[in-house]
Structure 1
Amino acid sequence: MTLTETTLTLLQDLIKNGCVNDLTADSGQEVRNADTLEAFFAGSGVRVERYEPHPGRVSVAFTVEGDGGEPLTLLGHTDVVPVDEAKWTRDPFGAEIDGGRLYGRGATDMLYITAAMAACVRDVALSGARPSGDLTFVACADEEARGGLGAKWLAEHASFSWANCLSEEGGSHLPVSSDALVVVVGEKGAAQRRLTVHGDAGHGSTPHGRDLAVSRIAEVARRVAGVAPLRADDLWHDYVKAWKFDPETEAALLSGSGYSAFGELEQYSHAMSHLTVAPTVLRAGGAINVLPSTAWLELDIRPLPGQTQEEVDEVLVEALGDLADSVEITHLICEDGTVSPTSGPLFDAICATFDEFFPGVPVVPTIAAGGSDLRFARRSGGVGYGFALHGRSETLGSVLGQLHSHDESVALEDVDLTARAYRSLIRRFLGA
């Protein structure tokens, strides 16, 4: 089979295994995809290292040993998010091909990349060519739950290199007349908060004159939602410039207004340039005839690289104003954002590979609004980039729209392009 055919067959097998991570320790059962991948690499001569920090939550590293030069590590996760089967028009785990697309949970996030990585690394192993540095493909468990039983655990216990890493998601196109290809160089962090308020308890039939916790938490939610100002760094400036807007629109965007000009990428573009504060969980009371004395609100807050947890608290306190003294702020999951340089051997290899497939198309570095396993590479002192490759019809917006969606799918053209792009980049970076 060709590289693309091999990738496609493996992708279908990975989807059919249905390794659904519902954020509980016993879910995922990535052991199924780990076993599939071990069978895929059987007889190839790679070094295999299997890790199981919790029963069924298996990650596996497959390494083609090199000659001591710069290593390259490909991080592909094997878990997928849950599905609402009633909203799907196809079997979420059927891996059905129709109309030039392959359908299934995880098709885009990120099993098509995982399959391409595996196919390319096996090809190098079977070729007998020795790369200049170690080439490792890691099938990571638990990415969808922030990697506690996957990449986070591996960063603390595994022996492979984190110096130069690739993972999801890149290589889609900006919807501009001159075209532009996206490479993900960083991602936002986490600054989750719980805001708690207290009020008067009492019978629901006599609310007059009482300090109502529910009313207070509603006002807290109103004040903190969407409060952060624009942070206009070089990445934001270059991203806006790449769209080639008219001068008036460009000036407005560079100063933090007019985001509707981005169309389907309005929300993403706003997130790329702001600390985002999203009220997501609200709790108060239990009985309909009792005034609750406590209410709390949880916030999914995503800081940009360089923004500290202290800055997040300052933003919240300022937004709360005269309510600040009556609101308890509790830190939940906190992780700083991470970013890699837009220069260096791996970044240059990405740009050269893009130019091979789409000559003359500019490359635009971006920040991911969500998280990926690449943050563990950056925290370990390495560099990490999101890398794949899509056809011209697949914009950044259309690819992001597939993530965690009903009837998730990936274009067969993108499976082919991504597999061939990984093979090309491996040759360029490792000489294999």
Structure 2
Amino acid sequence: MTDSVFRGRETTRHLSLTYSGAVDLMKGGNPQMTLYDDTLELLQTMVRNACVNDLTADSGEEYRNAITLEEFFKDTPNVEVQRFEPHPGRVSVAFTVPGTDDTAEPLTLLGHTDVVPVDIDRWSKDPHGGELIDGRIYGRGTMDMLFITATMAAVTRELAHRGRPRGTLTFVGLADEEARGGLGAKWISEHEPEAFSWRNCLSETGGSHLPVADGSDALVVVVGEKGAAQRRLHVTGDAGHGSTPFGRESTVAKIAEVARRISLIKPPVSSDELWQGYVKAFRFDATTEQALLEGTDPAAYEKFGRLAGYSDAMSHLTIAETVIRAGGAINVLPSKAHLELDIRPLPGTTDEDVDAILRESLGDLADEVRIERLISEPATVSRTDGPLYEAILETFDEFFPGVPVVPTISAGGSDLRFGRRLGGVGYGFALHARERTLSDVFAQLHTHDEHLHLEDLDLTVKAYRSLVNAFVGA
């Protein structure tokens, strides 16, 4: 465990560091309070703590949510607490309920406590207010992913009050997920990998529904995520005065041509079982299905509706040109320029594969372009069998009997990849009402007026309680 000293900070009007909610029934609290009530109040408190991560080391200040969680677990029996603070204020905290059987499967719940910034002028609600309006809770992080984090905490605490489980249960409130975990899960996995088990992990997100073409239902479980292969492409040209460009090689024209050639890359469609199963789950007509599986008609993606962008990303390596830099003064011919690419590879695609694709697209310019690797992480995916996956299927069937479950891969990242790298399995798990499709969930991520239906919070609390009790043993 990281032995760190808490460093106090001033709070803003939104902060609500002390969890003042329901005392657990087994502690003699208000008999009207339920697990759902506890979860909702904790969620509101965490939203109001406003642990905003702007991707800089001194932002986030997740110590606020760490204090809230420590207060939430105060006086809870059978719980061991570990604190991690690799940078001042960037606090993660783990709560472990040791099992009674060393041979039983452990379970670790990975919930992050940071949220992304807001454009305050675009919000009609207080982004850090946690307001309850028309059956919804509004605020940054309500969907991503504080509602799951609060659920994990409440379910863990309830189980601890009932005694030690058969298998060890750990809940971790993690810092810095929105900046790829460098001061959170990534740091713990590299510096304190034995602090808790990574063997079976749950995190964000899952349990939404697919808009199947024939009107039937299907549930989503996230079993993996694409990797990162960020690149910076450098070119050089002739410097000089802007008044005399004659005979000089234009750096700007060269980087523009590089960008044009990169934009023409058309990676092949995946042939793996995840993509095939996802397409078939929609029950499209035979022509559309074939076009999607074989990659013969890009227009076929429109059949996915609001999921067209995600479906395209799930089906192949994507390359997004996001940043271009050249020059500084209007009267100076720049001698260097670069183009930055956000590249997301599928499982099995290596850094060497990515560089080869880029060089091939550059053609006769390849020798004039230097490829710099930035963040590079392989895609990770967990198997679609085994005890935890089976427990997810059984839990889904409990609430939506007979509904098929479709494993998918996330286009973005989550803390689950660190557990997979250490040899464990990890799945995105929550539960939404029938009306909430995968595109509805995506629409709330990092958006204005982010909100969660309270019906979905209730379902997620019930689903986590059922799965945790079944998996580690009440």
TM normalised by structure 1 equals 0.98
Q: In the alignment, which residue of structure 1 is the partner of 2:211?
A: 175
**Which runs of no fewer than 5 residues in structure 1 stay unpaired?**
none
Tell me if 1:87 matches 2:122: yes
CA deviations on 1:176-200 (whole Å, 9 max, x unpaired) are 1111000000001111100011111
Superposed displacement of residue 215, structure 1: 1.3
Q: In the alignment, which residue of structure 2 is the partner of 1:25?
A: 57
Q: In the alignment, which residue of structure 1 is the partner of 2:19?
A: none
Alignment of 1:250-399 (within 5 A): 250-256=289-295, 257=297, 258-399=300-441
Q: In the alignment, which residue of structure 1 is the partner of 2:183?
A: 149
Q: In the alignment, which residue of structure 2 is the partner of 1:74?
A: 109
CA deviations on 1:272-292 (whole Å, 9 max, x unpaired) are 111111111111100011111
Q: In the alignment, which residue of structure 1 is the partner of 2:237?
A: 199
Q: In the alignment, which residue of structure 2 is the partner of 1:244?
A: 283
Question: Secondary structure, in 3 states, of the residue corresponding to 2:209?
Answer: coil
Cα distance between partner residues in 2 of 1:291 and 1:262: 46
Superposed displacement of residue 210, structure 1: 2.6
Structure of higher RCO (CA pairs closer than 8 Å, 6+ residues apart):
1
Superposed displacement of residue 322, structure 1: 1.4
Identity of aligned residues (%): 68
Superposed displacement of residue 125, structure 1: 0.7
Cα distance between partner residues in 1 of 2:305 and 2:261: 27
Q: In the alignment, which residue of structure 1 is the partner of 2:39?
A: 7
Alignment of 1:417-432 (within 5 A): 417-432=459-474
Cα distance between partner residues in 2 of 1:396 and 1:149: 29
Tell me if 1:108 matches 2:108: no
Question: Secondary structure, in 3 states, of the residue corresponding to 1:306?
Answer: coil
Cα RMSD between the aligned structures? 0.9
Code of the residue aligned with 1:28 in structure 2: it is: G
CA deviations on 1:305-325 (whole Å, 9 max, x unpaired) are 111010000110111111111
Q: Are the structure 2 counterparts of residues 208 and 262 from structure 1 closer, same or farther at C-alpha, using a change threshold of 3 Å? A: farther
Cα distance between partner residues in 2 of 1:412 and 1:91: 18
Mean CA deviation greater in 136-145 or 205-214: 205-214
Code of the residue aligned with 2:240 in structure 1: it is: G
Code of the residue aligned with 1:190 in structure 2: it is: A
Q: Conserved in 2, the CA contact under 8 Å of 1:227 and 1:277?
A: no
Superposed displacement of residue 153, structure 1: 1.1
Superposed displacement of residue 23, structure 1: 0.8
Alignment of 1:208-219 (within 5 A): 208-219=246-257
Superposed displacement of residue 201, structure 1: 1.4
Q: In the alignment, which residue of structure 1 is the partner of 2:11?
A: none
**Which runs of no fewer than 5 residues in structure 2 stay unpaired?**
1-32
Superposed displacement of residue 209, structure 1: 3.7
Q: Conserved in 2, the CA contact under 8 Å of 1:239 and 1:366?
A: yes
Superposed displacement of residue 227, structure 1: 3.1
What is the number of equivalent residue pairs in this alignment?
A: 431
Code of the residue aligned with 2:248 in structure 1: it is: R
Cα distance between partner residues in 2 of 1:99 and 1:208: 66
Q: In the alignment, which residue of structure 1 is the partner of 2:70?
A: 38
Question: Secondary structure, in 3 states, of the residue corresponding to 1:53?
Answer: coil
Cα distance between partner residues in 2 of 1:294 and 1:284: 6
Question: Secondary structure, in 3 states, of the residue corresponding to 2:407?
Answer: strand
Superposed displacement of residue 203, structure 1: 2.0
CA deviations on 1:311-349 (whole Å, 9 max, x unpaired) are 000110111111111111001111100000000000000
Code of the residue aligned with 1:369 in structure 2: it is: A
